[in-house]
Every structure is written in structure tokens, then in C-alpha cells.
Amino acid sequence: MAKKVTIKDLAKAAGVSVTTVSQILNGKGARFSEETRDRVHRLKAELNYVPDFNARNLILHSSKTIGVLVPNIGNPFFSSFTRGIQEVCREKEYMPLVFSANHEVELERYYLSRLVERSVDGLIIASSTITNETIDEILKPNGIPYLLFDQNQAHGQGDRVAVDDYQGGKLAAEHLLKLGHKKLVMYLPEQPTENVLNRLAGFKNALNTAGVAFDETNIVKTEFTKQGGYKNTVAVLAKQPTAVFCANDELAIGLYRGLTERNIEVPRQISIIGFDDIDLDEYVTPALTTIHQPIQQLGNEAAKLIFKRLSDKEGKLSQQLVKMPVNLIERASTAQVEG
């Protein structure tokens, strides 16, 4: 097995000091001649030299990494969100380290602690279970900049990106009302987070404004996954709705399967509307009507806020908040109520 080329090997080949090589490779070699800089970079490529990560961290006082904690990397929403973060990190030449906590509090604390130990430069936290206590115990004492995505329960903490979930719920209700639906079910996760509760509030208030009473017993709860949407199909149908508002698209797609197995046609017999606008929505049959939130752009903005925070060396930047709009995407899963 070939021996790894070290910075000492590269310096010897270039006929310069280790310090000179380090400064040139780290973009701080302006005081050296163009010939010397070119020689170092040429030999780096020829020798296949790869900088030692830990040594580089010590020199730059930066790991050039951003930790990203999400609740479920298997959810297409968080895949798109992470892709948005990756785009900005690549531009900044930072490495995103992505972890999925699977809604487990202890696993979340474990990942956060390990990321702090590895001196990540900043953290983007989209986990729904993060608390003020965790922030106070793990993040604040170590002075690591962090940003919270709007799923979590922590209040008054850190920078934040969010969407107008209340407006999203309102748009869903108004769309179904326009189609003549009044027998409605709201399909929710078993432990709804603040943003999901805002969707419910917007939905109910729009119905109240239109003079349509919403019976709280018409809220059906399940796991916040495709499997959850599928396995509680019977509970949804027991309410005899003409339309169902699913708190996210994964629930809606799971419900599709449950309805198909029972030979119930969407939207002829029951209309379905989701929330998120994941890429699968255009490929299921019928294509899913949903509330669109700019998922990848949310990831972009989250990363931009973190880098803006990192550049604030004097600590003068106040809390950053970016709130983004939502809009209705009408496809084929909703239709005028029959009769």
C-alpha cells in the first residue's frame, strides 16, 4: 500500500518550507512569487497530495463543516431541504455533515454532542424535538452558531427560517370550500409540531369564516409517514368525508394506497390535498393537489443565514428570521363534490 504524501514531502519536492506550502494552499500566499505558487500547486496535483484534515483545522481554526440535523432523511422533503444547503456549502467550500435523528431525543442529543466535539463551524437544526434545554446545555456553552428550522419547539432561540403554515392551511380550506366540500377530515401526526398546528389553525379559521363548522372529532392522527397515512385509512373513512387535508404529502401518498386497496377513487369519491409539494406529487396517480412550500430554497436560505452569522466576528448581528410564502398547486386529486 502506497505511503500517503505529506506536506513535508510536498515542501521538499517544491524546495520551499512547510509554512510556505501551507500558506499557498490555504490562499494566503500572495507574498510569494507567482512561479513559487504555480510550482506548489503543480506538484500538489502531480503527487496527489491531500491536506490532513485535522492539521488544517488547527491552522485555520475552522473545520469548514456545517452540521445538519433532520428528523427523517428518508422523507423527500428533507432530501430537497438538504440539497438546498449543499448548494450553498459547496459555493463556500464547506462540507455539510447530515444526520437523521428519527425523532429520537437521545439520538439527537448524541449527534449534537458529537458534532460539537468535532468543532463544526455551525449547525442547521430541522429536528422537531429540539428543546431550549438542549440548546442551553450543548450549544450555547460552546459558542457554536446555529439555525432552527420551523418544525421545532424551541422559542426565542437562534436564527430561523420558516414558511407561512397558517396561510397554507387557509389556502387548503378555501380550495376545498370552493369545490363544495363541507364534510372534511384533517389528517395529522400523532404529536403535531408547532408548524403543523399552525396549518390546522389556518384550516379551521378559514372554515369558520365561511360559516362551516369543523368538528374536532374529524381530526385523525397517525404516524407522520407514508406508512402512517396508509395504516389509518379505515379511521379516515369512518368519518365519511368528501375531502381530506393531509398535514404533509407523505400522509397523502400513504392514504392513496389505502383508498386504492378499497377501490375508492380519488377524486371522484374523495378529494385529497397535501402540504409540501415534494417531487413525488407529480408522479402519483392522480397527481396530488398540495400546498407548495419552496423546500430547496428554504435550505438555501438556512445555509446563507449560517454563513452570514459566521462572518459576524464582532457579534453585532441581531436574530435573523426569514419567512417564506406558500401557494396552492392544483392538480388532479381534488374535484367538485358530487351531489
Report how far residue 69's alpha carbon sits from residue 75's, in angstroms, rounded to the nearest whole number: 13
What integer pLDDT is reported at residue 153 of this predicted model? 59
What integer pLDDT is reported at residue 56 of this predicted model? 58
What integer pLDDT is reported at residue 6 of this predicted model? 86
Assess contact for 277 and 290: CB atoms under 8 A.
Answer: yes
Q: What is the pTM of this model?
A: 0.83
What integer pLDDT is reported at residue 115 of this predicted model? 87
Assess contact for 213 and 240: CB atoms under 8 A.
Answer: no
What integer pLDDT is reported at residue 103 of this predicted model? 74
What integer pLDDT is reported at residue 142 of this predicted model? 81
Residue 241: name the closest of 223, 266, 209 by CA. 266
Written as nine digits, the cell of 158 is 437562534
What integer pLDDT is reported at residue 106 of this predicted model? 85
What integer pLDDT is reported at residue 143 of this predicted model? 84
The DSSP code sequence of 280-309 is GGGTSSSPPEEEE--HHHHHHHHHHHHHHH
Report how far residue 57's alpha carbon sits from residue 52's, in angstroms, rounded to the nearest whole number: 9
The DSSP code sequence of 188-220 is EESS--HHHHHHHHHHHHHHHHTT----GGGEE
What integer pLDDT is reported at residue 208 of this predicted model? 96
Q: What is the dihedral of CA 132, 135, 138, 143, to 10 degrees?
A: -140
Residues of the chain with pLDDT under 70: 1-2, 52-62, 128, 150-157, 339
Report how far residue 241's alpha carbon sits from residue 253's, in angstroms, rounded to the nearest whole number: 17
